[in-house]
Chains A and B, each alone.
Chain A
Amino acid sequence: MLEEPTVEFRRVTGRLTDDQVHITVRIHNPASRTLYAYETPRRIRYDAATATIVVDLNDEHVDADHPIAPHLPQPRFLALEAGADTLLRISLPRVLSRVRSADERQGEGPLVEQYPLDQAERIALAIAVQDTPYYYNPREPMATQLRAWGAQIARTEARINLTRSPRTSRERRDPGSPGQSPE
């Protein structure tokens, strides 16, 4: 098992389409073997005060009592080739619909809060990385396995400029190159 997340985040960029925010992350794997990373956003939050999208590509938050634990779907994984850069692409809704809990609602008010992710200026990413692919084992709950598999989490935070400009020819070749670097 990987003892620490060894990947390097080289660039994070974002762009808008009609209904989605597309984030592209250039990840460098300096190791001599292929690594594997979550490719599926599992938890999406928005901090309106700092206009930051917080995306977890891991299941660290899913303990045995979490309501999603029994139904946790298997994420998709991205192979990060040894000694090379790989682009991780994730798509988020332009407007996130968050179901408020009973404690927050106290029996009244809207059940859903809307968050304009397309207004974000920053993004924070936490991505589970491991040196073998994940295989489901029917002997154990999926949540337990995925938490163990994803114990090593690589984190980055970056500014993003979410403009809806048409893609340039350079972006089409290499959508990871323009934009802001992680801080």
Chain B
Amino acid sequence: MTLFIAQTDGTTNFDLTQVQVDLLSITRVDTGLGFTENPTTAIESVTTVPVTYNRTENGATPTRIDDLVNDHGFTAPPHIVLFGVNDTFVLSDGTSLKGNGIAIPVGGSGNPFAHHVAALYDVTLCGGAGEWVDKEGGGTTQNTTDVVLYHELSHCFHFVTGTTASTSAAEEEAAETDENDMRDVRGLPHRDVHSHNGGCGGGTPSCCIVASLATGSPYSVEVATFRHYREHVLRGSDVGDDFFATLHHQYYAFSPEVVRLMGHRPELGSTIRGRYVMPLLAAVEMLIHYANERGSGLTRLLRKQKSRAECTDIFAPNALITLHSGLTLARAFAAQEPGSMTQTETASLAFMPVQKTSASSGETGTGPSDQMDELAALIDARAVRYGVLAWALLETVQLWTDAQLALQRGTDELEVGETLRATIADWLGRMPISDLWEEFSRLKAMAELEYLDQFMFDQRARTLFAQRLAQAVPRHATAAAAWAVVSPGGHHA
């Protein structure tokens, strides 16, 4: 008999009942499950209740409890003692157990037992606030106490059977895979076993504060697109990860202030959404399509975007022209081209509401508000002049806007597609070069270059980027040149 539930240490009582309820749930309310409360068993001065089990239910979760209680498949293991604790408990070093479960092997740091496995879990689920984890397929899902206990029992099973995975990440993945069996029993969505993210409360947006506010939700389709782009493209390599870190740092130099302005003037949200976030999301979609389809079908996608209800603002009369003008000027300032308007005026133009920017149609506007001026000044000071930010956020929108304008003006679709592919290739070839390249060995540099194949398949992009890399880090010139001449295959006009 292996499994015990802690009842009391003589001064402190543990939540025996909740652990019993959770075990019942894990066994699918199997009547064969029993708890021997009289007599109890003392384990290293802790009063415990032994668990007994004559299994009558089938399935992975009852079978796991059967194995643990009746020692199937292993001999003379240490006991496993389960503790239902509340959110006031801490480990011996003071580490809070709030919103957590933990299984500690014999000899493990913080184990209160010298010879047995201890599993402690917060049965209050963060003092009632709930717990979230990343869900398979994106988003988050909630934890329940039986799911948390089953997860910890998976670790315990590995400890006592000597089947603990060789790395912490692999062990966690194994426990989360087991946990999904329990989620099936409860009818809960599966956890993403490749992510070990979680916490107290209802979930963390973890992405794109301005886009979340502008689109109304951190879980909107638009924000999910951003998040996917970040996790699956930007962070797929060391260079991409570093690029994201720089972009992140530059972006957060101004985005919290944008949010503050949106707080003062809620209607600014719709302006930002229509003027920038939606065009950016459409541009990101276009670039992902470019990578996935090797440059094919771009104009078809642009046409499809135009027909979407959520894109109405972008295609309002003069909206694209206004956006195009603002971006062109902003890029000119970013490149420090002389002449014309101040930077603030430039940024202001790009972000002015449609009804106030219809000079070309002869209408007059009342001019931007104080908040709009402040927004424009912010974007001028903290966005336009940052290289990575300008390349990643301004230039992408410009690529997209130029192509949509060309279609709007009736330019031949084949020509629009070919021009767009060429400008995307040029844009990719001008991707900012991270300082990390300096640190890379030749082998590592080749691996990073090969990672770029997934979107830098066009010969024009490869040649330009290789030239720039060779210039920036001369010792990678040979690797870059070798990479540039191998074409992984892309769209050919």
On A, residues with C-beta under 8 Å from B are 1, 33-34, 40-45, 54, 56, 61-62, 64-71, 73-76, 79, 81-82, 93, 95-102, 104-112, 114, 131-133, 135-139, 141-142
Contacts and interface: CB of A to CB of B under 8 A. Distances in A.
A97 B197 contact: no
A138 B88 contact: no
Most buried by B among A33, A43, A112: A112
B198 interface: yes
B108 A67 contact: yes
Q: Which of A73, A82, A138, A139 has the most CB of B within 10 A?
A: A73
Nearest to A41: B96
Nearest to B108: A67
A113 to B, nearest CB: 9
Contact of B96 (A34, A44, A54, A133): A44
B90 A44 contact: yes
Contacts of A61: 93, 95
Interface in B107-123: 108-114, 120
Interface stretch (B28-36, B164-172, B282-290, B348-356): B164-172
A75 B89 CA distance: 17
B45 interface: yes
Contacts of A96: 88, 90
Contact of B85 (A33, A82, A97, A133): A97
B94 interface: yes
A167 B296 CA distance: 66
A67 to B, nearest CB: 5
Interface of B: 6, 9-12, 44-46, 85-97, 99-102, 104, 108-114, 120, 131, 168-169, 171-172, 194-201, 204, 206-207, 209, 230-231, 235, 241, 248-249, 252-253, 256-257, 260
B88 A67 contact: no
A54 B11 contact: no
Contacts of B257: 34, 82
Contact of A74 (B194, B204, B207, B231): B204
B100 A68 contact: yes
Among A40, A75, A102, A109: residue with most chain B CB under 10 A: A102
Contact of A97 (B90, B99, B194): B90
B193 to A, nearest CB: 11
B232 to A, nearest CB: 10
A166 to B, nearest CB: 24
A34 B252 contact: yes
11 contacts: A40-B200, A42-B96, A44-B96, A74-B197, A75-B199, A96-B88, A101-B109, A102-B112, A108-B45, A110-B9, A112-B11
Given A76-B199, A97-B12, A107-B44, A42 B95 contact: yes
A99 B94 contact: no
Given A41-B96, A42-B96, 13 more contacts: A43-B90, A54-B94, A64-B168, A67-B91, A71-B198, A102-B113, A107-B114, A111-B45, A131-B252, A133-B252, A135-B206, A135-B230, A142-B196
Contacts of A69: 168
A100 B94 CA distance: 10
A89 B86 CA distance: 21
